[in-house]
Structure 1
């Protein structure tokens, strides 16, 4: 025998409930008078009153209530009006959720429980707030609905929800009756919610009502920090204009300010506003972290550029203890695994960043010359007769000169990367490096033929010291070096002349300016005087390991060579 289970489905309800759902008051009245029950439930636990309330049919609600009060419900009208569905929803909740003002009013008159919670801790007021039903909210608040209860697993109040949904008219109602500093399970207040989700009008209402603009969540984040992180410019401006503190520490891990959040997420407008009001101690103090670090970490080159332009130092504090980062440039170089260098590296070098030993390793311990070319584009190698910690060069405005320490570290790293000299040697000599600085035993012992011949073209090899000549002689005997034919004789007068000219004008001026073109010599000699006839060395054995691996090997095995 076949059994019919259709009565178990939600759409198969009693005739009374069906009439209530459709809003047909006349048919509903006829069924009630015909003795049909008001208590018949569907599989959701809904009775006729739930259907009528959800449908917003005030007439049908009135019919059901009248019948219940006259004995249509065996439990009586007060009990019936508070009947709950399987989800714990009352008729008042269903009507408030859908904004049926007239129905809510009828149900309240029939003694519906205004604060009846659902199974998920909601209530009629919270449902009306969530739906943005202002008139229903006004009615419920006026009738004494409890306004400060929490209604979600995260402990949000009605005010939290109104702000989150951006229902500013409802927020205006609630700020007069709700606790402004109500906190959820993460200590987040309604004002914090407004800042987080960019609800500017709600934020202004809360501020004017006296809400705390510097309140901190459980993780110490402030409304200003979260608005800066999310890029809500208008909210940031509003908070700052009303006393939000841009210098409040907002993290348990390291000193984080709103400016860090703006830099990390690339919000240029917000960052510009915060630069103007943030204490520069975050850029200098050893216990702080420059926003440059977070901008570099997030590859926000526009933020890096803005910070540098506004005076933030490219040589920010050493954050090895707090973040394991020694400098912004070191951090940027470690983040340049895809390209030879990132845009942040270019900006830092252009800003005159201090070049540490690690920087030279990145530039020289590879067959890629992009980084070295970038450095030489913005930095000048000092002349031998001006080797001081700081010196100025008038014929290259906008460029800074390598300090003595930077030059020492450059030579030190170069001598440790002799096997790659074919890559970096031509660039350094053309940029004005004094070649005698490289005439060290280690260089002459380990440089390959092309690199060594290239270097010797820039010096008077006949005047080398006896120990260096001995190294060259031994390599020639062992056939590990094949010298140019000229090296067996006294240097030509023409070569000695151009070496003298290079010494007088200065390597940088000779190689990188038009000074040669101003000399009273035939133009055919210009290329010769600038050593352009010297064939560049080529790398015979490219490095097999990636740059970062080479760098690790360098620091594990490096022995500092005393130079200069």
Structure 2
């Protein structure tokens, strides 16, 4: 039933006069014997109307009439509407100071609760009636009682509304550490809603800046999440701990919230104050993960520039993700690589088997091109350690582990070899590393021909020759005519030049132009006379499905 709307046919003449504030008319009606005790459809009496209208004169007339009757004035002054509202509550809600004062002198219950657990003080606070709040507090109103379904106190509500003058009144009376049903204190509310002035009042009054809610969130965390720079600065300047874990599930710090929601000014302040253990230490979580998860590429760039590792720590046990690059690629899926992927690879992020899957298990080569732009495929004889070292042109070498995993994925993704094979061979991958039985058995005819053009096919091992002969007989391979003869001297020479210079250098025109050879030979040295294999398109399953299948079924087919 709706008790908020007053139906005109239910209101008495006395109540109507009280609502209009017409004291003279009200007095005449009472003198003629009209009752002040009638209720309308909301349960309102004439006293409620007079109090809500702020008419002190009408309130006096009504209470005088009650005192002269047989009914008790104390019970009348505290009578409630259907919503549990008293006259004092209605006057306080609307800021009628003199009416509230008069009702209190008439013994109105200062702490009477409504059906929804509000009271005169809480409503005065909610609506910012400072003078009424001051009166009620001085008259002994209960300031620490829980109100509303969330169990907020009057101080919570004053802070939430930003009524700083009322907060000044309440801090000396209220429990500063009172918590609601989520374990949140008034100071937490100030930080959450960016009430900087209220925050200062509470801190100066002695409120705990490191209070934690039921889920371990701190005021600093919530202010960082919501982007309240002033609150963050004030909290840090007054002892807030940026290294206090703020989650039961994983060691979340305020810096993670700032990174996730892209608040760059707050992040800059927190980087200076947060322990760098969160960057790489086991059991921690780098803020890079949060920035990538929420696609905040400008935050990723900032963190990398500030020295946060592009590899971070393995978070498989906490977040189910083993590296920032893995997360970035997972978010990219079948789409062109994101800005975060580009930033991580440029910063030297290590590449795992799963990362190579995104580059090789697809007919799109943009990611592989990006990797090869920043990573150098070393010659096999140069692989003496498993640590990437700086190279010229800003590139870093692939480690032995990365190269092994590249080969493992490549030999399991032969279906897409027409896409990735030319790029890898031109970038410096030693072709003999791909001359494996599985490659020769599964590659289509064009891919196989293209690969053999980069080697001295006359020196292929007997086992591999047997596979080739078998495919020739079964007509699953259509070899080029030249493969039936010994390679010509010119081909052997360019293989030697490729070996001496290194494929990456050889394929760059500026280097080839410096060689003492005729111009027509430059394209020949770069293998440009060999037509690239074409990709036979068949609708593949989504890359995430291919990765899951690879995890479940692949075998390491090659170890360098």
Give the TM-score normalised by the residue count of structure 2. 0.95
Matched, 1:459 2:455: yes
SS where residue 339 of structure 1 aligns?
coil
Q: Does 1:179 align with 2:175?
A: yes
Residues 1:545 and 2:559 aligned together: no
Q: How does 1:484-563 map to 2 (within 5 A)?
A: 484-512=480-508, 514-542=510-538, 544-563=540-559
| 501-510 or 488-497, which deviates more | 488-497
Aligned residues of 2:311 and 2:324 also touching (Cα < 8 A): yes
Shift of 1:526: 2.3
> What's the CA shift string for 1:20-39, capped at 9, x where partnerless?
10111221122122222111
1:210-221 to structure 2, matched below 5 A, reads: 210-221=206-217
* 1:68-467 map, 5 Å: 68-69=66-67, 71=68, 73-389=69-385, 390=387, 392=389, 394-396=391-393, 398-467=394-463
Deviation track 1:97-130 (CA, whole Å, cap 9, x = no partner) reads 0011121122122222211222222111111001
1:340, CA displacement in angstroms?
A: 4.0
Q: Distance in 1 between matches of 2:237 and 2:319?
A: 33
Change (3 A) 1:563 1:151: closer
Partners in 2 of 1:391 and 1:368 — Cα distance? Answer: 26
Q: Distance in 2 between matches of 1:360 and 1:511?
A: 23
- Of residues 175-184 and 468-477 in structure 1, the stretch that sits farther from structure 2 once superposed is 468-477
User: Which of 12-21 and 464-473 deviates more?
Assistant: 464-473
CA distance in 1, matches of 2:147, 2:467: 85
Residues in 2 aligned to 1:88 and 1:445: alpha-carbon distance in whole angstroms: 85
Checking the alignment, whether the CA contact within 8 Å between 2:304 and 2:347 is kept in structure 1 is yes
Give yes or no for contact 1:52–1:61 (8 Å, CA) kept in 2.
yes
Shift of 1:559: 1.5
Shift of residue 140, structure 1, vs aligned partner: 0.9
Secondary structure at 1:320's aligned position in 2?
coil
Paired residue secondary structure (1:335) = helix
What is the aligned partner in structure 2 of residue 52 from structure 1? 50
Q: Tell me the residue number matched to 1:27.
A: 25
User: Which position in structure 1 is the counterpart of 2:3?
Assistant: none
State the 1:379 CA deviation: 0.7
Greater CA drift, 372-381 or 470-479: 470-479
Shift of 1:410: 1.0
Length, aligned pairs only: 554
Q: More deviation in 473-482 or 146-155?
A: 473-482
| Unaligned stretches of 5+ residues in structure 1 | 1-7
* CA-to-aligned-CA distance 1:351-375 (integer Å, 9 cap, x gap): 1111111211222122222221121
Residue of structure 2 equivalent to 1:65: 63
- Of 291-300 and 116-125, deviating more is 291-300
Q: 2 CA distance for matches of 1:39 and 1:554? A: 82
Which residue in 2 is equivalent to 1:42?
40
1:325 CA drift (Å): 2.0
Residues 340-349 or 174-183, more deviating = 340-349
**Cα deviation, residue 87, structure 1:** 1.6
Q: Deviations over 1:146-184 (max 9, x none)?
A: 111111122111001101111111111111111111111
Once superposed, what is the RMSD of the aligned Cα atoms? 1.8
Point out the more displaced range, 359-368 or 135-144.
359-368
Check the 8 A contact 1:246/1:258 in 2, yes or no. Answer: yes
SS of the residue 1:237 aligns to: helix
- Contact preservation (8 Å) 1:10, 1:44: no
- Structure 2 stretches of 5 or more lacking a match? 1-5
Structure 1 residue 541: Cα displacement: 4.6
The alpha-carbon deviation at position 240 of structure 1 amounts to 0.8
Distance between the aligned counterparts of 2:333 and 2:305, measured in 1? Answer: 26
